[in-house]
A and B are shown apart, each in its own frame.
Chain A
Amino acid sequence: MQDRHPVTARAAQAYGDLADLAETVEDEWQYVNDLRDAYLPGILALAEAGAAGGAAGEGGEGGAITEAQAAALDEAIAEISLITDPHKAIDWLSTFPHVVALALDADLDGGVDASFGDSAGTEPDEDSPFRTLGGFR
């Protein structure tokens, strides 16, 4: 087991760097910063939770992580650090936080689904024609 904080802090730093690259696409500046504003605080919160400590395996957000979890984050950080195309960076700004959350089995602040395993669909509008389709909840 190891402390969650260092690797999660590196993930937050890498995410910020990725956003810096992505915002060079001028037409997508707003979207890039919307993504940064939405996801980066959650990654930072995970790092801070790690720094605060806490028991591993108790479903909390602080404390230790396994070697496999740390390796997962380091590999994910390495992956996004290889990106030089700002358009690809935009795609990864949306993907990376969920990869982090899945690896840590944690919730990012703001509702990122940690497990990414359960349907997280929202209810359809009352007037939506999809409401007549039983499958669309």
Chain B
Amino acid sequence: MKAFAIGSVQCEPGHLATGHLIGGYLENSAAVEVPLVVLHGTRPGPVLWIGGALHGPEINGIEVIRRITRELVAPETLSGTVIGAPVQNPLSLRDHHRFILREGADVNRVFPGKALGNHTQRLAHRLFTEGIQRADVVIDIHSNTHPAIDFILIRGGSPAAERSRELAELFGWTLVLSLLEQEQSMTGTLMDAALAAGIPAMTLELTPQRELHDDSISSCCAGVLNVMREMGMLDEPTTMPVRREPIPELLGNTVQVLAGRGGFVHPLRQVGTRVNAGDSLAIIRDAYGDVVETIVSPLQGYVTVYPRYANQTCFSGQTVAFVNPIRAGA
């Protein structure tokens, strides 16, 4: 067994090592460092990439990676290598914002990035070429605002996507089979770049953003360990997951339901419940207390998220609810 090298990290077999990739540079010439925590096993095996905080408010992955690398997996008993990248987008974490603010851009729409592109594209390119491309399986950990159910986004249409689905089943969470050809806007994700390179990949959505809640984090850690067992990285049998959420069906691409008016958002449904087309999902009240809009579901499916920016308020064109249809024939 040789040492595992990535970025500034040199990790000997049976050890944990830390370091970073360089994602770009700032005006003061300082490097934007993407921190890495590597666990390198004592036996040969696959490489698992676990990424967090590709969007700045989505900090749950930081704690999942800390628990996996510091508490739950001992490198002496590991086959292969875990690369943890707790903060894949350091500038957005500093700003507590989804985007890299100076470019107003979402890095999870520009993968695999461009070597000579803007800052956002360069970050994606460096993450992909120096890190993700070296993995055998990729788990990208995101978070939705509360209230939401925990779910996993997967794609279809390739052997890598089929393998991703098998692995995602090991979490026991609701699965959203979000077909690339049916996407309105969610393309160019980290997951898509990995799948295009033949690497099984999935996007996890934990709850909530901005805070660390143990129920979601613990369940995610259990799922990651199960994936590692299935990959042969841990010398333990794969365990049957406990289903955490009540949605028994495979779901299809998210439909975002937008506000026409602005004001205070009052959800009318529990997340994870079924709605029909025409059912009301939420009301928007103005400051005087009048209902200025009733948000109605355009389709039959399950309400999965009531997204918000910071306050439980909205303005025209903002997404108020996610509804996912049942994926037919899958």
Q: Do A and B bind each other?
A: no
